[in-house]
Structure 1
Amino acid sequence: MWRPALLALLLGGGVAAADLVAGPMAGPPTHRGVTLWLQADGAARASVEYWPLSAPKTRRRSEVQVLGAAEDFSAKIRLFGLEPGERYGYRVLFDGKPVGKELQFATQELWQWRRDAPDFKVVAGSCNYGNEPPFDRPGKPYGDRHLTIFPRMAEQKPDLTLWLGDNVYYREVDYSSPEGMAYRWKRERSQGYMQSIFQVGGHAAIWDDHDYGPNDANRSFVFKGEALKLQQRYWPNPSFGLPELPGAFTTFSFNDVDFFLLDNRSYRDDPAMPASPDKTMFGPEQMRWLKNALLGSTAAFKVVVGGSLFLRNEERADDWNDYPAEREAFFDWMQKVRLEGVFFMSGDVHRAQLSRVERRNGYPLYDLTCSPLTSGGHNDPKLNQQPELVPGTLVAGERSFCSLEFQGKKAERRVVIKVINADGEVKWEKALSRAELTYPK
């Protein structure tokens, strides 16, 4: 008697092999390791073959990861035991057979105590809306420039990409259930236009309201536990929160820059809550973690990253100004401990700009806002009247991303900031030196 599986195979009805539909995407590399995220369209046994470009015959394979439906056929494959400052080639294998194309990643150089930090480039953006007409609002599609902006970002050949929140947009049919939220991630992540940037450099992400829950969602969102699981599933961040404090926050080092990625939703009171000393956007425990992490940093630049604007002073704008006690306490603390080298990055508001706030007896604070990637843009003439806006840095009404090049010898270290639109045009450029972020002697 023919066995059913063998009979099906002979009749051409065998199970189709899984295909790679998203990624691979690397997390921020360390000196000796990297995490690679990937996703298939079905069950498979995934592994990675990798080799140093300087010795291509010395190939190794990672351990096998089983891709199953419970994780949307995605996995993170961790490679360790690599050499610092080495560029590696690699390819993904499903069931032992190559899928996709050969790609590369690089480990960080071991420059500490030996020489000046290497130059490197970061690109950053927020607000990526993928259109799906049956579930979108009626009228003109909200998302645009998908086919141009991500290749433009990839053309920059960044060492690191920062995703600044609203990286997908839950619709009403999504955030009403964990299954709907998982559907949105799986659909958006597999879009072909995303892959060009996913496959270049390392990646790390925060969230804002639309990839956490409903618009302007606060700590009361009942599916925030499921939202965190999806954030963990789909991004190769080095960590997520602390064992005693769940959340999407983390920190990591890239050469002489430390990045502090904050969770502005899990512990956020609603902006309409009356002002009080305990009204918070980040919450006391996350702020305690941030302060300790900043004090432990020896990096030249300390980049604090959040989904909401840090420095804007408009009322009821869904940013840190709605939480004055928490914000002013942090700025006062920075002054007290004389914390140097800090600037902020944010997304959310569908425009790009550089904000600056002067402080008595301290260096000015800067907030670089990078938005939107593909979502609708805001273009109001009143935006040029913002008191904290650095003149000439507002980019409104078009899709754009930010580029940050950290460069120069230690004594002259600086970051060159650019805003680039979906056509590849540089809208403005400004250099910010490390010396500008120091206290007067």
Structure 2
Amino acid sequence: MIYFPQGYDIKTIEGAVPGRNGQVRLQFRSEGNRTWQVTPWEAVDPKANFSKKFILSGLESGKTYNLVVEARADQWGIITATMNGKFKTPPDAQTSKKILFAASTCQGYPHQDHPGGYKIYPFLESLDLDFFVHAGDIIYYDNTAKNKAMAYHNWNRMFSLPTNKSFHAQVTSYFEKDDHDTWFNDSYRGIETSFMGEFTFDQGLEVFRQEMPIKDKTYRTFRWGRDLQIWLVEGRDYRSPNTMPDGPDKTIWGKEQLEWFKRTVRESDATFKLLISPTPVIGPDRSTKKDNHSNKGFYYEGEQIRKFISKQSNMYVICGDRHWQYISKDPKYGIVEFSIGSNSNAHSGGWNQDDLRPEHLYLNVIGGVMTVSIDPANGGIISVKHYSVEGVKLNEFKSLAK
């Protein structure tokens, strides 16, 4: 049974933003263009949380587009709501251009630290980013999603927060999922539990695809000009049980995704290549953890990935999931991994600040955010900066392309 506070239901509890039937359309144009392109009016889908996903074609590379979203009740109704925004498109693979993007992870709704949301978003909005990546745990279902309606409620309340709404209306954004925004902590397909009530693992996969701007597979790669290509990977859909003994048959990525990753990395001629993973590949991680590539639970597949990355030029790893900031260098392969850290101080933790290990190049048990700058000057320069939640620079890693 699911109980709400007396006098409340799913449509009236704190953070509720219940959907309605209606129609929406988009108007968009590149900056400097006076002519708007307009999509047809489309009905929202009540079975997909009253959402509608548009796929825009014919966009020019390396442009900033202005966007207007309009809504009405039905085909006879007047426009009752509008929202303005913008987004940038990637430069083509022949264009050499400085690129700046940011990454965040571990976003707990109870851990808001700013009126209307989170401190990191006003700071990031001021940077004129080219794009943003959320590396998983966008929301936390664990204690607040015991059926599908409650799962939708988690997305509604998070993305109606003023800081989040303002930021994502202005910045091209990519999203990965991890355990908490799939189902619950350390979850995988087939685990037996009554903890999540009526809400199932497969429903978690379905809801994520409905809520997020994803066209095909949840693992994908994007080229941003001559000097940068990123890989976003899927760590839940194809995962073996965490409890399974490690070996050649145990996987997080699955055979198809691993082959895709190796093939597309080999095909890339980008100066810098970045794997952005929802979970660590290098670590170090806590000795009690057994659910990612950096520890013994999935060591075999982790070694395959590390060996492959070590043979690439200028390839780095960015990871979510860990609630502390770090930069580490694998002592065996020399691969550098950047842990973003949680998006608020209240949500940080999980490591002892005094536990500085030889592989650590930087360690800070604190919340914040990370930016990555790719500069084509001098053959290519990567700069990775960790910031506090207030936007104070805490550390910078800088390296020339080799």
TM-score, shorter chain, exceeding 0.5: yes
Aligned to 2:299: 324
User: Aligned partners of 1:166 and 1:279: how far apart in 2?
Assistant: 23
- 1:197-246: per-residue Cα shift (whole Å, max 9, x none)? 21222111111110011111123258332222222112213532xxxxxx
Question: How far 1:173 sits from its partner (Å)?
Answer: 4.3
Alignment of 1:59-74 (within 5 A): 59-74=36-51
Question: How far 1:303 sits from its partner (Å)?
Answer: 1.2
Q: What letter corresponds to residue 74 of structure 1 in structure 2?
A: S
User: Aligned partners of 1:286 and 1:215: how far apart in 2?
Assistant: 23
Aligned length: 368
Please tell me whether the aligned partners of residues 143 and 376 of structure 1 are also in contact (alpha carbons under 8 angstroms): no
Please tell me whether the aligned partners of residues 355 and 389 of structure 1 are also in contact (alpha carbons under 8 angstroms): yes
Unaligned 5+ segments in structure 2 are: 1-14, 73-77, 193-199
Q: What letter corresponds to residue 339 of structure 2 in structure 1?
A: T
Please tell me whether the aligned partners of residues 139 and 154 of structure 2 are also in contact (alpha carbons under 8 angstroms): yes
Alignment of 1:247-396 (within 5 A): 248-255=218-225, 256-314=227-285, 315-317=287-289, 318-320=291-293, 321=295, 322-334=297-309, 338-359=311-332, 364-374=334-344, 376-378=347-349, 380-381=351-352, 384-390=355-361, 393-396=362-365
Alignment of 1:16-165 (within 5 A): 41-56=19-34, 58-95=35-72, 97=79, 99-110=81-92, 112=94, 116-131=95-110, 142-145=111-114, 146-165=117-136
User: Aligned partners of 2:352 and 2:234: how far apart in 1?
Assistant: 31
User: Aligned partners of 2:288 and 2:255: how far apart in 1?
Assistant: 22
The normalised TM-score by structure 2 is 0.83
The normalised TM-score by structure 1 is 0.76
Please tell me whether the aligned partners of residues 419 and 427 of structure 1 are also in contact (alpha carbons under 8 angstroms): yes
SS at match of 2:221: strand
The answer to which of 217-226 and 72-81 deviates more is: 217-226
User: Aligned partners of 1:68 and 1:289: how far apart in 2?
Assistant: 32
Find 1:407's aligned residue among 358, 375, 379: 375
User: Aligned partners of 1:394 and 1:41: how far apart in 2?
Assistant: 43
RMSD of Structure 2 on Structure 1 (CA):
2.6
Larger Rg: 1
Percent identity, aligned pairs only? 20
User: Aligned partners of 1:51 and 1:143: how far apart in 2?
Assistant: 34
Aligned to 2:12: none
SS at match of 2:56: strand
Aligned to 1:181: 151
- 1:27-60: per-residue Cα shift (whole Å, max 9, x none)? xxxxxxxxxxxx994222111122333232x222
User: Aligned partners of 1:234 and 1:412: how far apart in 2?
Assistant: 39
Q: Per the alignment, do residues 41 and 380 of structure 1 end up closer, same or farther by CA in structure 2, a change over 3 Å counting?
A: same
